A and B are shown apart, each in its own frame.
Chain A
Amino acid sequence: MMDVERKLEILADAAKYDASCASSGTEQRDSSDGKGLGSTAPGMGICHSYAPDGRCISLLKVLLTNACNYDCLYCVNRASSNVRRARFTVDEVVKLTLDFYRRNYIEGLFLSSGIIRSADYTMEQVVSVARKLREQHHFRGYIHLKTIPEADDALIAEAGKYADRLSINIEMPEETSLAKFAPEKDVRAIRRTMGRLRLKLDEAAEARATKTKPPRFAPAGQSTQMIVGADSASDNTILKTSANLYGAYRLKRVYYSAFSPIPDASRALPLIAPPLVREHRLYQADWLMRFYGFDVGEIVDGTASGMLPLDIDPKLAWALRHRERFPLDVNRASREELLRVPGFGRKAVDRIIATRRISAIRTADLARLHIPRNKALPFIVLSDHRPSARLLDAEGLAERFKPKATQLGFGF
């Protein structure tokens, strides 16, 4: 009989390729009524620790079991892998969650599972952990449940009743790749279930708006994950898929996960260092689509390969392709225009708009606005600055922004 600690190691190891650990964006709850345990931190969420991979540890992220009927090549838990298998009982996960929570190690639980027996059986197991936490222990912390595609509607409704967030991973940017790497998975089944989730989310939101009794359903919405670098899909394809998913299913987030070597990996996949910079550029591009008013078609246009440059960020790359739009007068430009200036974040734009009503923005102010001056100056006009026309037209402008080559192997 395996002890709980050993199971925890196996089932956390099996869960770590899911990038999401967010505990944000849910409703406000606490236990100040004296009945039960826990609260949520609406808005930003709390990261209780960070691992040396730079990822936030907010939730106890585990699989209920890593036994799986499916044989998805990219997955550490695929049926044909020789990794150790383990399975938690419902009570073991409940107890671990509460014990960790009371010590303030975590915000809550992120529970997923390998597919065993059937979609409904697996979903029922996952839901019963959440049910026990909420109904028996009155746990008010955060719960994220992985939704099993094609699970029965009643089970999905119950999952949404207990969970803050639900997610289903789309896994691959292209349908053909999923068919190749995960023959038992079906994008259509995944999308149908995402569609069902959105209908339930919409229904709950409408009920909240009209103040009728809301059927509680995942107040932190749904998210998904795409693996980057396991197939040959271009960044353009990836971002188009994201735009489609955001529009169709109102996802809160699409997570990009650089494919990384896994124990007992399949030889059919590229076992190389994970493309972390590419992953980072995709996140930046994703932000441009969601918060900076960029259309997916603008972000990668002009790049024949359909790839984002790795050495400069996607907004800077866009600005270098559209120099005719610059220099922009920061003291006069609209919010939409300001959001497109390299180095200008959303908060900086808010501050600029509030400040310029009082006094004109000068070069010396950039530091207080937290704007990197070297990146922004060639593209902007300030009350004491105008870039030379030659600079903006110069062939060499792009070179200015590329990271300096560093001498390797110094420091003897």
Chain B
Amino acid sequence: MHTITLDSATDFDGWRKAARLLALNDVQPQDVTWTVRGGEPELFAAEMDELPEATEGTFNVPAKFVELAKAVILHRNPERFALLYRLLWRLRGHHDLLNAATDADVAEINAMARAVHRDEHKMHAFVRFREIGREQKAHYVAWFEPEHHIVELAAPFFAKRFADMPWSILTPDVCAHWDGHEIAITPGVARSEAPGEDRLEETWRRYYAAIFNPARLKVKAMQTEMPQKYWRNLPEASMIKPLIESAERATSTMIANEPTEPHKPQQRQDAPMASKARKTADETTGTIEQLREEAAGCRACPLWKNATQTVFGEGPQTASIMLVGEQPGDKEDLAGKPFVGPAGLMLDRALGEAGIDRRKAYVTNAVKHFKFVPRGKIRLHQKPATPEIRACRQWYERELAAIKPDLVVALGATAAQSVLGKITPINRNRGHLIEQDGTKVLVTVHPSYLLRLPDENAKALEYQRFVDDLKIAAGWLRRSARAA
């Protein structure tokens, strides 16, 4: 039988040193007794063997075990040293053991580590400082009664949080102090050493009472998170009983009270937030700005419901070219502007290469709300259906009438269907201008089609075709500008 005497209740280094030595000498867990210096000596202890001589060599344990052991050593259970040694003993032959959550030793060690961390967390939460002295000379002192030996573990949290104020946390075991530079640990003291009150506690209690909603009493939920053992050191806890007792009365009074005459507000300076969006404009024609305001409230198809907003066209009213896309995407829906996402970047690049200035173009979409299905944290784009394209066509027509461009470029099949009024395959109709009700129309692919192509070669090839199409548009614009 070996007896190991550790320097203190939290002597991890001492435990580790002894445990390593014992394990290297193949000392069975049942042959070791662990005690703490100054603790009760074991009566009737069996005859003790000397601790074996230091043996060369080390052995590996998972890093997770060291982490667990450092926490578990702080637990108040007197068996913790023996338990940890038994687990260490078993880990030597079974490196994966810590993953076996169903093993009795592992389960117990895990539960103890959790208890220690919970106690630490509760200490961070429930320490209440009381101010001694004022202003520059203030010192903040708290009295706390932790369940486990966690003061030294929890102290750095307070040092980092309250770096600019001197504080002391007094407990029956040990006390921690901060002077603005370092943490000092001193022996425990009696509760009477701690200050009895603070000038702000009455204010804090009034806040506690006011933030409580008497209509939703859930005393058990409170007690699970804030067990009664902490109440004696919480200034607000004196309110708990009276608040519970008066809760039912407070609630039934709220319900039973006769309705009062509505209070007449004296002033109302602002317009309600809805006004901007709900102004109605000229019903049939109008400037782009008027159309935009009117379209903001469009309910012509159900797509508005799940979307953020109508994404109307954008660009100068005098534009000679109008670019029509399919519908706004995720980013366009959030920003309220067409072609600002990845497809927009691709379009800008291609326009630049074709010699068209996007700032001089009017850019819009055939369908003006984002159609999608939510998939967790993302919204999956969905192709608009014919009824939605039809319902939205009025806006395209009115944009066209307001802008009167020389040329319309339809990007993709949806745009082509809306602009030409019928389903129009892209590949058979691209590469040349089409006459539509006195306006020239060019059909090409949508830039997001290029983004989706998986093959890099195909992507480069298709991109070039796209730029070539846009060059046809650019050429026509130059010719018609010269003619004018």
Contact = CB atoms under 8 A, between A and B. Distances in A.
B374 A247 contact: yes
Contact of B128 (A5, A105, A196): A105
B270 A119 contact: yes
Contacts of B345: none
Contact of B211 (A5, A33, A51, A189): A51
B336 A150 contact: no
Interface in B108-134: 121, 124-131
A116 to B, nearest CB: 8
A208 interface: no
A197 B161 CA distance: 29
B196 interface: no
Interface string A7-42: 011101101110000000000001111111111010
A298 interface: no
A47 B255 CA distance: 31
B453 interface: no
B137 interface: no
Interface in A241-262: 243-244, 246-250, 258, 260-262
A184 B270 CA distance: 11
A246 B375 CA distance: 9
B159 interface: yes
A325 B292 CA distance: 51
Contact of A261 (B130, B198, B208, B254): B254
B101 A354 contact: yes
A289 B374 CA distance: 11
Contacts of A48: 125-126
Interface residues of A, number: 105
Nearest to A263: B254
Interface in A109-166: 115, 117-119, 149-150
A411 to B, nearest CB: 17
A322 B289 CA distance: 53
A32 B102 contact: no
A351 B103 CA distance: 12
B333 A47 contact: no
User: How many residues of B sit at the interface, in one of the four size bands?
Assistant: 35 or more
Interface class of chain A by DSSP: loop
Given A48-B125, A118-B269, A30 B160 contact: yes
B375 A12 contact: no
B221 interface: yes
B204 A271 contact: no
A195 B309 contact: yes
B277 A189 contact: yes
Contacts of B102: 355, 359, 361-362, 365, 368-369
A246 to B, nearest CB: 6
Interface stretch (A52-60, A210-218, A304-312, A401-409): A52-60
A272 to B, nearest CB: 8
Contacts of B203: 4-5, 8, 96, 99
A46 interface: yes
Contact of A12 (B163, B210, B257): B210
B254 A186 contact: no
Contact of A52 (B206, B217, B262, B374): B217
A33 B180 CA distance: 10
5 contacts: A103-B204, A117-B270, A247-B377, A249-B334, A267-B259
Interface of B: 96-97, 99-102, 104, 107, 121, 124-131, 140, 142, 157-165, 180, 198, 200, 202-204, 206-222, 225-226, 234, 236, 240, 243-244, 247, 251, 254-255, 257, 259-265, 268-270, 272-274, 276-278, 296, 305-306, 308-309, 331, 333-336, 372, 374-379
Interface of A: 4-5, 8-10, 12-13, 15-17, 30-39, 41, 44, 46-57, 60-61, 69-70, 79-82, 96, 99-100, 102-105, 115, 117-119, 149-150, 175, 183-186, 188-189, 191-192, 194-196, 198-199, 243-244, 246-250, 258, 260-267, 271-274, 276, 289-290, 296, 351-352, 354-355, 357-359, 361-362, 365, 368-369
Given A102-B129, A248-B374, 4 more contacts: A49-B125, A105-B204, A195-B333, A198-B334
